[in-house]
């Protein structure tokens, strides 16, 4: 026992679990065939982990409820749709190619290397985040939620009706309800071109790398001056301002950093799906991500990772492959019920939101500070404490 | 000075669309018939939005919560009315007497169903969170909105359903200077005005209404004065639900279709109406409803209805950002 306690006190002890998890995650593809449904779900889970971590920065750390997070997915994916497909066919004669493979060189339209796209998506989404954040500066709480929701819907509408809008002389903003497809496969320097039709492993490792970077940013920022300013803002805006926290700068960086992470994940998501489908840019997408954050625990980095993995598997494996097939489906048909669980998936996520907020608002793996705030910070208990 | 700019700026913003298309009509056709048609349709549509907006404004006024699920309460009212017509056997060929009795029965049932669901949601999802941070009940409200939408999918499927056109809502009743006024327009306005008058009389005149106003002003003080705050809040949700149910029935008669997603769109339009009039302000909500109805019709007819949500949301962002207290509202706590 003493030996165990000594081990737990060691400086490196806190790294054991994360390092094991990362190594296990990195080795996972070797235990699965290269083209595998489970690996596909894992890649989706990683994408949603990154998105949920981005939203967690805005909602969990800074306490700004953003109901329009889908806008950043839309921007990130559209960056891929515009600059890595034949969407702008005829542009510049044979097209414009920057750092792409010889096969892609022969395609018309604009084709830019994936790494440059990621950087572009990050910059665009950071800017978009700050712009969306601007009108909410004067507002508090629920009005922020509605304004961000409105922006998310406006962006979605523009993409869905984008075939009616022309940009740069003759080109449509998007393909409207039709997807922009096909989108170039990812092509990283020093590696062979990826091919999602043959081998999912490179995609998995790329996204795992992105998630690790996002996690690192989250962990470092949480304990930085900026992260502590966000938490101060979340807990009491007036007190934070009077302690010298610059409100405008702090709020806008929360939107910008959170948005940039969403754009990064959205950019990869678009490239991985091989198409940019404007029908996905819906309010429901924002709510799915929000449900992941709430399930895991607002402000809790490891909780959000867990919540995102859990809900991705519920959405992409449990519902379509388990509940809508086999024994459960037979039972449902025997009972005379004709619906499928896929149809009502968003009802299930709504239920997760309600259940968590009422039963366990601190989430599955709560952040310690948040838990104290939720259980003791209410007005009544402060009042009682004074008596 | 700033107050002047923000108030008249909002009015100018609201007049922008009608004035622009009015001038276009005058130069194209030489008269304003098309704009007039838009405005008549807009006012009757707006009457329905006014009823829904009242529900938002009542709830916000009393517990400062954006009842996100309110649009879905409206949708369930519409679904209930459609189900009632099926149950009562109302069709286009039903005689006038049977139709009136049947519609009144459906109205009562739809109002009752919507109101009880609204009260139930408050009891289950908002009351336990009343002392929690303010965003918690908003998140449960969003959650309930999704749950109810999916109840709608389970009930009538995921696609739009056509409903029998019981009152021939498109038939022209009379015509003023080329502007046609249909039965649906008259029905929507004729059904809305008494309901709004009843509501304002109840809140302004009755004992329970007085309790509601007191609770809205200061829940703690109201409790000390012997008002049962929980019951009063339930009553507010009941009233909002009743109006939403009625709006659901009128909308079904008027649009002759039901769809699980109609609540989301209606909710957003009605919420914009409530904010436009000044949230918490009953007269403001009705005024906002009529204005937003006109904007929506003009946008549907001229810009294309696939763009209408974007237009409404743009108005919402502009109003919330530059004049969060709305047209005639008082300064809310949100305006900070």
Chain A hits for B313, Cβ within 8 Å: 150-151, 153-154, 157
Chain B hits for A361, Cβ within 8 Å: 129, 132, 136
Question: Would you call B138 and A143 a contact, using CB atoms and an 8 Å cutoff?
Answer: no
Chain A hits for B336, Cβ within 8 Å: 138-140
Rounded-to-integer distance, Cα A136 and Cα B320, Å: 9
Structure tokens at A102: 């010889």
Q: What was the pLDDT predicted at A386? A: 33
Q: Is the pLDDT of residue A361 over 90?
A: no
Looking up tokens 């081998």 gives A199
Least confident of A201-205, A338-342, B196-200, B302-306: A338-342
Give the confidence band of A376 by pLDDT, cuts at 50, 70, 90. low
Rounded-to-integer distance, Cα B99 and Cα B85, Å: 10
Q: What is the mean pLDDT of chain B?
A: 89
B125 touches chain A (CB under 8 A): yes
The mean pLDDT of A294-320, rounded to a whole number, is 92
HSE toward the beta carbon, residue B81, CA cutoff 13 A: 33
Q: A110 CB contacts (<8 Å, ≥6 apart)?
A: A82, A83, A84, A87, A88, A91, A92, A95, A96
Q: What was the pLDDT predicted at A380? A: 45
Question: Would you call B324 and A351 a contact, using CB atoms and an 8 Å cutoff?
Answer: no
Identity of the residue in A147, A164, A339 whose CB atom sits nearest the CB atom of B317: A147
Identity of the residue in B66, B304, B314 whose CB atom sits nearest the CB atom of A146: B66
Q: Is the pLDDT of residue A382 over 70?
A: no
Residue A110's beta-bridge partner residues? A96
Q: What is the mean pLDDT of chain A?
A: 87
Domain A37-386 - what CATH class?
A: mainly alpha
**Taking the domains of chain A in order of start, what are their residue ranges?**
37-386
DSSP H/E element including B139:
helix B135-156
For an interface test with B, which of A134, A153, A319, A362 has the most B Cβ atoms less than 10 Å from its Cβ? A153
**CA terminus-to-terminus distance, chain A:** 44
Using one digit for the tens of pLDDT, what is the confidence trace for B265-283? Answer: 899 999 999 998 888 888 8
Residue B200, SS3? helix
Q: What was the pLDDT predicted at A90? A: 72
Report which of A68, A72, A49 is spatially closest to residue A295, judged by C-alpha positions.
Answer: A49
Using one digit for the tens of pLDDT, what is the confidence trace for B162-210? Answer: 998 888 878 877 887 778 888 888 999 999 999 999 999 999 889 999 9
Q: What was the pLDDT predicted at A387? A: 30
Structure tokens at B225: 């004065």
Report which of A70, A113, A112, A122 is spatially closest to residue A87, judged by C-alpha positions.
Answer: A112
Rounded-to-integer distance, Cα A151 and Cα A69, Å: 9
Least confident of A98-107, A282-291, B27-36, B287-296: A98-107
Report which of A59, A28, A47, A23 is spatially closest to residue A316, judged by C-alpha positions.
Answer: A47
B218 touches chain A (CB under 8 A): no
Provide the pairing of β-strand A110-112 with A96-98: parallel
Q: Is the pLDDT of residue B4 over 80?
A: no
Nearest-Cα distance to chain B for A46, in Å, is 24
Q: Is the pLDDT of residue A71 over 60?
A: yes
Per the model's pLDDT, the better-predicted residue between B23 and A197 turns out to be: B23
Chain B hits for A354, Cβ within 8 Å: 124-125, 140, 143-144, 147
Give the confidence band of A385 by pLDDT, cuts at 50, 70, 90. very low
B128 touches chain A (CB under 8 A): yes
Identity of the residue in B140, B306, B336 whose CB atom sits nearest the CB atom of A161: B306
Identity of the residue in A145, A346, A347 whose CB atom sits nearest the CB atom of B138: A145
Chain A hits for B151, Cβ within 8 Å: 347
A377 touches chain B (CB under 8 A): yes
The mean pLDDT of B114-140, rounded to a whole number, is 91
* Full DSSP string of B1-38: -HHHHHHHHHHHHHHHHHHHHHHHHHHHHSS-HHHHHH
Q: Let me know: does A51 contact A289? Beta carbons within 8 Å.
A: yes
Using one digit for the tens of pLDDT, what is the confidence trace for A194-228? Answer: 888 788 999 999 999 999 999 999 999 998 999 99
Q: B16 CB contacts (<8 Å, ≥6 apart)?
A: none
Strands (E), chain B: 161-162, 172-176, 179-182, 257-258
Question: Would you call B150 and A344 a contact, using CB atoms and an 8 Å cutoff?
Answer: yes
Residue A1, SS3? coil
Q: Let me know: does A251 contact A237? Beta carbons within 8 Å.
A: no
Q: What was the pLDDT predicted at A1? A: 59
Nearest-Cα distance to chain B for A294, in Å, is 9
Query: Mind spelling out the 3-state secondary structure of A244-258?
Result: CCCHHHHHHHHHHHH
Structure tokens at A163: 């075939």
Identity of the residue in A153, A290, A374 whose CB atom sits nearest the CB atom of B313: A153
The four Cα atoms A267, A272, A275, A279 give a dihedral, to 10 degrees, of -70
Rounded-to-integer distance, Cα B304 and Cα A161, Å: 10
Least confident of A260-274, A308-322, B5-19: B5-19
B226 touches chain A (CB under 8 A): no
Q: Is the pLDDT of residue B30 over 70?
A: yes
Q: What was the pLDDT predicted at B333? A: 39
Report which of B110, B49, B53, B58 is spatially closest to residue B83, judged by C-alpha positions.
Answer: B110
Report which of A176, A206, A36, A46 is spatially closest to residue A115, judged by C-alpha positions.
Answer: A206
Question: Would you call A294 and B336 a contact, using CB atoms and an 8 Å cutoff?
Answer: no
Question: Residue B138: closest CA among chain A residues belongs to which residue?
Answer: A142
Q: What was the pLDDT predicted at A154? A: 94
Question: Would you call A346 and B139 a contact, using CB atoms and an 8 Å cutoff?
Answer: no
Give the confidence band of A374 by pLDDT, cuts at 50, 70, 90. low
Nearest-Cα distance to chain B for A17, in Å, is 32
Q: Is the pLDDT of residue B116 over 70?
A: yes
Q: Is the pLDDT of residue B15 over 90?
A: no
Give the confidence band of B131 by pLDDT, cuts at 50, 70, 90. confident
CA distances from A363 to A60, A85, A216, A336, A357 (A): 11, 41, 22, 36, 8
Question: Residue B139: closest CA among chain A residues belongs to which residue?
Answer: A353
Per the model's pLDDT, the better-predicted residue between B3 and B332 turns out to be: B3
Give the confidence band of A370 by pLDDT, cuts at 50, 70, 90. low
Chain A hits for B69, Cβ within 8 Å: none
Chain A hits for B66, Cβ within 8 Å: 142, 145-146
Tell me whether the omega of the peptide bond preceding residue A182 falls within 30 degrees of 0, making it cis: yes
Using one digit for the tens of pLDDT, what is the confidence trace for A145-193? Answer: 999 999 999 999 999 998 888 877 778 888 888 888 788 888 887 787 8
Using one digit for the tens of pLDDT, what is the confidence trace for B66-101? Answer: 999 999 999 999 999 999 999 998 888 888 888 899
Q: Which of residues 167-206 of B touch A (CB under 8 A)?
A: none
Nearest-Cα distance to chain B for A136, in Å, is 7
**CA terminus-to-terminus distance, chain B:** 18
Rounded-to-integer distance, Cα A174 and Cα A163, Å: 5
Chain A hits for B145, Cβ within 8 Å: 350
B336 touches chain A (CB under 8 A): yes
Q: What was the pLDDT predicted at A371? A: 66
Above pLDDT 90, what percent of chain B? 58
B149 touches chain A (CB under 8 A): yes
| Domains within chain B, CATH numbers bracketed | 33-335 (1.10.3470)
HSE toward the beta carbon, residue A283, CA cutoff 13 A: 24
Above pLDDT 70, what percent of chain B? 97
What is the ipTM, given to two decimal places?
A: 0.89
Residue B179, SS3? strand
B324 touches chain A (CB under 8 A): yes
The mean pLDDT of B294-316, rounded to a whole number, is 91
B151 touches chain A (CB under 8 A): yes
Give the confidence band of A383 by pLDDT, cuts at 50, 70, 90. very low
For an interface test with B, which of A55, A67, A157 has the most B Cβ atoms less than 10 Å from its Cβ? A157
Q: What was the pLDDT predicted at A363? A: 87
Q: Let me know: does A77 contact A263? Beta carbons within 8 Å.
A: no
Q: Is the pLDDT of residue A378 over 70?
A: no
The most confident of the ranges A252-256, B36-40, B328-332 is: A252-256
């Amino acid at each position: 026992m003493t030996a165990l306690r000594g081990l737990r006190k060691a400086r490196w002890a806190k790294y054991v679990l994360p390092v094991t998890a990362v190594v296990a995650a990195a080795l996972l593809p070797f235990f699965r065939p290269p083209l595998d449904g489970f690996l596909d779900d894992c890649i989706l889970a990683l994408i949603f982990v990154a998105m949920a971590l981005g939203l967690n920065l805005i909602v969990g750390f800074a306490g700004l409820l953003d109901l329009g997070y889908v806008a950043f997915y839309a921007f990130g994916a559209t960056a891929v749709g515009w600059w890595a497909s034949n969407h702008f066919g005829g542009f510049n004669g044979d097209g414009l190619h920057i750092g792409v493979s010889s096969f892609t060189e022969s395609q018309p339209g604009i084709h830019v290397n994936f790494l440059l796209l990621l950087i572009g998506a990050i910059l665009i989404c950071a800017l978009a985040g700050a712009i969306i954040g601007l009108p909410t500066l004067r507002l508090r709480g629920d009005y922020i939620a509605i304004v961000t929701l409105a922006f998310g819907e406006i962006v979605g509408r523009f993409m869905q009706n984008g075939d009616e809008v022309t940009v740069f002389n003759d080109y449509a903003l998007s393909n409207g309800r039709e997807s922009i497809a096909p989108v170039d496969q990812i092509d990283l320097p020093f590696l062979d071109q990826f091919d999602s039709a043959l081998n999912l492993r490179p995609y998995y490792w790329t996204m795992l790398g992105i998630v690790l970077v996002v996690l690192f940013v989250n962990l470092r920022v949480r304990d930085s001056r900026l992260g502590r300013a966000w938490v101060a803002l979340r807990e009491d805006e007036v007190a934070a301002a009077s302690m010298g926290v610059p409100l405008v700068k702090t709020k806008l960086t929360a939107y910008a950093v959170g948005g940039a992470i969403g754009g990064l994940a959205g950019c990869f998501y678009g490239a991985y799906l091989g198409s940019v489908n404007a029908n996905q840019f819906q309010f429901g997408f924002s709510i799915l991500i929000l449900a992941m954050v709430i399930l895991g625990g607002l402000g809790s980095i490891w909780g959000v990772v867990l919540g995102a993995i859990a809900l991705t598997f519920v959405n992409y494996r449990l519902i379509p492959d388990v509940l809508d097939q086999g024994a459960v489906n037979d039972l449902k048909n025997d009972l005379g019920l004709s619906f499928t669980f896929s149809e009502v998936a968003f009802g299930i996520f709504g239920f997760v939101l309600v259940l968590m907020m009422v039963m366990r608002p601190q989430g599955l793996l709560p952040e310690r500070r948040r838990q104290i705030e939720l259980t003791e910070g209410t007005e009544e208990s402060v009042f009682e404490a004074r008596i | 000075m700033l107050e002047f700019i923000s108030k008249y700026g909002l009015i100018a913003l609201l007049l922008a669309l009608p004035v622009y298309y009015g001038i276009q009509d005058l130069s194209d056709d030489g008269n304003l018939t098309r704009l007039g048609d838009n405005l008549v349709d807009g006012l009757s549509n707006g009457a329905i939005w006014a009823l829904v907006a009242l529900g938002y404004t009542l709830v916000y006024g009393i517990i400062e919560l954006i009842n996100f699920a309110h649009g879905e309460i409206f949708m369930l009212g519409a679904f209930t009315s459609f189900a009632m017509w099926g149950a009562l056997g109302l069709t286009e060929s039903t005689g006038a007497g049977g139709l009136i009795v049947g519609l009144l029965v459906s109205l009562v049932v739809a109002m009752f169903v919507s109101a009880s669901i609204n009260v139930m949601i408050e009891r289950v999802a908002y009351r336990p969170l009343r002392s929690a941070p303010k965003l918690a009940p908003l998140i449960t409200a969003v959650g309930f909105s999704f749950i109810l939408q999916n109840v709608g999918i389970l009930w009538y499927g995921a696609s739009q359903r056509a409903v029998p056109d019981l009152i021939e809502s498109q038939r022209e009743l009379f015509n003023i200077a080329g502007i046609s006024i249909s039965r649906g327009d008259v029905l929507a306005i004729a059904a809305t005005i008494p309901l709004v008058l009843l509501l304002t009389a109840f809140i302004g005149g009755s004992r329970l209404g007085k309790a509601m106003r007191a609770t809205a002003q200061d829940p703690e003080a109201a409790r000390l004065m012997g008002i049962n705050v929980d019951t009063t809040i339930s009553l507010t949700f009941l009233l909002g639900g009743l109006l939403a149910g009625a709006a659901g029935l009128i909308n079904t008669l008027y649009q002759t279709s039901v769809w699980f997603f109609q609540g989301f769109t209606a909710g957003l339009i009605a919420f914009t109406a409530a904010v436009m009039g000044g949230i918490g302000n009953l007269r403001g909500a009705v005024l906002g409803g009529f204005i937003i109805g006109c904007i929506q019709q003009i946008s549907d007819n001229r810009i294309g209805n696939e763009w209408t949500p974007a237009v409404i949301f743009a108005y919402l962002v502009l109003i919330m950002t530059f004049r969060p207290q709305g047209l005639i509202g008082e300064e809310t706590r949100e305006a900070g």
